[in-house]
């Protein structure tokens, strides 16, 4: 580990410095609310004032020789996100080796237009590997905030260690984004991973904190049109904690369903009413366009988020898109979850993933995975816990233990992938997962029914939500109450599960060396508190060559 990475003190590691999921479709379309609500939330500017950078700056998808830079300029007070108005504006960017910009290494200009919602990107190349850089944008005489980014190590570099922040499921109306603030305060991250649900599509009040709106989003209605999705992305990008994290390290992001609509699949979504809410084809296209406008992510294969990044000889990272190509979710208990004609990845993506894992020559093979791959059955939960858990996981409330929105609903794809890992002796595969609003540390067994007598093909670290409802939020009991009862029963029924916490919000920090990959789980004190504190909760690791998880007793 480098001195830069090891600068985080032991005390700071432990304490940082500072849904219900919809299961019925709606019958009527939500109306688009554009400029006025969002304009009211932005800093006031007089008419005719110079352009402003109200949505921060960001970087993403680090390569050994480059990184993608992003910002959004507001050229006039009226040109708010989703408005479709505002003049073309020339935006310059500059990258330097120092924060004072005395050693400039790259610069250029791009044009912000209403056609791209006045967002701009610069895919900067020609940089040095494994190096910190600082960058900013300018429009006229106005400069953006200064941000740090970092390139990936050279492909053939012997890297001693890597450290990534890991987050998922950030619901604006459910609370404040303290996990972003605490990750930003660390100063030791090579990058941070967002595993999906960066935004949520619901109308105001439909999905809040135990039913209470902590802060209203915009537009007030469910987002359906391109203008809606742009407005919602714009609201999220005004969050100061999110802006702070984007200023500190590059992000590597994938999408899940709420960047589109709840429980999205290739041909629709649970939270989409065809006709009343337009066509799914148009809505999906609008969501994708807004995502790539507003996120520092390179459009990857087939215009999706599946792609691969490499971090020297230590690790590569395969990033999945588990929404664009999947078959519709099966009815739990129907038997169709085993149908070989149903897919969660699509044929091309599964073949790409298998080939990537087989060809990998790095020590670790990380997989950015939006929904849990380890099998899960409910076990002997009591009725008062079974119903809210079924609600959270989109399960029928008669107790059938399958979440068909996860890999459990697409067992043929999972079996093919795990058999591929075993047949080709592909070791050290670690799935990094979001979506489920709980923390898990799992082995990924080839046959869950006979585990642990049968082998594990990989391991999985699942990160809880930033703010979206946990199980205790649905039951509306004090934090930790449900987990104390449910976790032992879940672990007993799923012998590959080493730990599950059903009740807390937070984030993870993944620390990798040649010997082990370790996830440190952090929780925040209160998602509804603007000044929520953070503390280390637990750590789990997998040692090289084992394909099994074990508890670690200190963060790294």
Q: Tell me what pLDDT residue 403 has.
A: 82
Q: Tell me what pLDDT residue 224 has.
A: 98
Q: Tell me what pLDDT residue 540 has.
A: 98
What does the block give as tokens for 229? 């999705």
Interatomic CA distance for residues 350 and 58, integer angstroms: 30
Q: Tell me what pLDDT residue 383 has.
A: 58
What does the block give as tokens for 522? 């952090």
* Secondary structure letter of residue 438 according to DSSP: S
Q: Mind listing the pLDDT tens digit for each residue in 249-285?
A: 999 999 999 999 999 999 999 999 999 999 999 999 9
Interatomic CA distance for residues 458 and 442, integer angstroms: 9
Q: Tell me what pLDDT residue 213 has.
A: 97
Q: Tell me what pLDDT residue 336 has.
A: 83
Q: Mind listing the pLDDT tens digit for each residue in 430-476?
A: 999 999 999 999 999 998 888 999 999 999 999 999 999 998 898 88
Interatomic CA distance for residues 549 and 496, integer angstroms: 9
Handedness of CA 504, 506, 510, 511 (dihedral sign): negative
CA distances in angstroms from 325 to 278, 340, 350, 354, 432, listed in the order given: 20, 15, 10, 16, 20
Q: Mind listing the pLDDT tens digit for each residue in 313-330?
A: 999 999 999 999 999 998
Closest to 279 (Cα-Cα) out of 264, 294, 268: 268
How many whole angstroms from its chain centre is CA 238?
A: 18
What is the Cβ-side half-sphere exposure of residue 224, based on CA atoms within 13 angstroms?
21
Indicate the average pLDDT of the chain: 89
The domain tally of the chain equals: 1
Task: List, as own/partner pairs, every contact residues 333-338 make where C-beta atoms lie below 8 angstroms and the sequence separation is at least 24, other chains included.
Answer: 333/396, 333/400, 333/402, 337/402, 337/404, 337/408, 337/409, 337/410, 337/411, 338/411, 338/412
pLDDT at 333 over 90: no
Model confidence band, residue 159 (pLDDT cutoffs 50, 70, 90): very high
pLDDT at 35 over 70: no
Of 16-20, 152-156, 302-306, minimum mean pLDDT range: 16-20
How many whole angstroms from its chain centre is CA 67?
A: 19
Q: What average pLDDT does this structure show over 79-104?
A: 98
Of 13-17, 156-160, 199-203, 377-381, minimum mean pLDDT range: 13-17
Q: Tell me what pLDDT residue 37 has.
A: 43
Q: Tell me what pLDDT residue 532 has.
A: 98
pTM of the model: 0.89
What does the block give as tokens for 195? 């595993």
Q: What percent of the chain has pLDDT over 70?
A: 86
The CATH number that applies at residue 446 is 3.60.21.70
Q: Do the strands 66-72 and 147-150 form a parallel or antiparallel pair, or are they unpaired?
A: unpaired
Q: Tell me what pLDDT residue 390 has.
A: 60
Q: Mind listing the pLDDT tens digit for each residue in 204-254?
A: 999 999 999 999 999 999 999 999 999 999 999 999 999 999 999 999 999
Q: Residues near 551 by Cβ (< 8 Å), separated by ≥ 6?
A: 441, 498, 499, 538, 539, 540, 541
Q: Mind listing the pLDDT tens digit for each residue in 373-399?
A: 999 877 656 556 656 766 665 554 434
> Do 495 and 451 meet the contact criterion of CB atoms below 8 Å apart?
yes
Handedness of CA 97, 101, 105, 110 (dihedral sign): positive
Closest to 258 (Cα-Cα) out of 236, 278, 275, 242: 236
Residue 120: give the domain boundaries: 5-552
């Amino acid at each position: 580990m480098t001195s830069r990475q090891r600068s985080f003190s032991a005390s700071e590691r432990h304490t940082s410095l500072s849904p219900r999921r919809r299961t019925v479709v709606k019958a009527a379309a939500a109306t688009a609310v554009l400029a006025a609500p969002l304009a009211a939330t932005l800093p006031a500017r007089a008419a005719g004032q110079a352009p402003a950078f109200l949505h921060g700056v960001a970087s993403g998808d680090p390569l050994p020789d480059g990184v993608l830079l992003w910002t959004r300029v507001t050229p006039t007070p009226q040109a708010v996100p989703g408005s479709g108005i505002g003049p073309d504006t020339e935006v310059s960017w500059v990258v330097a080796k120092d924060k004072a910009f005395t050693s400039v290494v790259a610069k250029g200009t791009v044009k912000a237009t209403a056609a791209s919602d006045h967002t701009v990107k610069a895919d900067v190349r020609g940089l040095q590997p494994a190096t910190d850089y600082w960058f900013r944008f300018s429009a006229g005489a106005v400069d953006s905030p200064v941000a740090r980014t970092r390139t990936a190590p050279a492909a053939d570099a012997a890297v001693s260690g890597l450290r990534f922040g890991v987050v998922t499921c950030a619901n604006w109306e459910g609370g404040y984004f303290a996990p972003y603030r605490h990750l930003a305060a660390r100063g030791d991250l090579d990058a941070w991973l967002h595993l999906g649900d960066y935004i949520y599509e619901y109308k105001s009040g439909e999905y809040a904190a135990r039913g209470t709106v902590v802060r209203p989003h915009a537009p007030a209605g469910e987002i359906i049109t391109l203008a809606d999705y742009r407005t919602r992305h714009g609201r999220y990008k005004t969050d100061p904690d999110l802006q702070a994290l984007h200023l500190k390290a590059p992000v590597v992001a994938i999408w899940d369903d709420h960047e589109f609509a709840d429980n999205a699949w290739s041909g629709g979504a649970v939270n989409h009413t065809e006709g009343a809410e337009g066509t799914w084809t148009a809505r999906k296209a609008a969501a994708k366009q807004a995502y790539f406008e507003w996120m520092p992510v390179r459009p990857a294969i087939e215009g999706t988020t599946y792609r691969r990044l490499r971090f020297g000889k230590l690790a590569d990272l395969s990033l999945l898109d588990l929404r664009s190509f999947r078959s519709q979710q099966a009815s739990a208990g129907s038997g169709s979850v085993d149908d070989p004609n149903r897919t969660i990845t699509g044929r091309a993506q599964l073949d790409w993933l298998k080939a990537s894992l087989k060809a990998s020559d790095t020590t670790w093979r990380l997989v950015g995975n939006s929904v849990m791959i380890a099998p899960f059955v409910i076990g002997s939960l009591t009725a008062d816990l079974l119903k809210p858990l079924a609600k959270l996981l989109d399960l029928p409330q008669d107790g059938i233990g399958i979440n068909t929105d996860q890999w459990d609903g697409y067992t043929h794809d999972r079996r093919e992938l795990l058999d591929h890992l075993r047949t080709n002796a592909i070791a050290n595969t670690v799935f990094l997962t979001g979506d489920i609003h709980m923390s898990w540390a799992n082995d990924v067994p080839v046959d869950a029914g006979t585990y642990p007598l049968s082998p594990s093909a990989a391991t999985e670290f699942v990160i809880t939500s930033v703010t979206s409802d946990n199980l205790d939020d649905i039951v509306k009991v004090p934090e930790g109450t449900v987990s104390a009862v449910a976790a032992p029963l879940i672990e007993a029924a799923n012998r590959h599960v080493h730990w599950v916490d059903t009740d807390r919000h937070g984030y993870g920090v993944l620390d990798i060396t040649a010997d082990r990959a370790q996830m440190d789980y952090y929780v925040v004190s209160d998602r509804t508190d603007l000044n929520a504190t953070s503390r280390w909760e637990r750590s789990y690791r997998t040692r090289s060559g084992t394909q099994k998880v074990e508890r670690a007793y200190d963060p790294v």
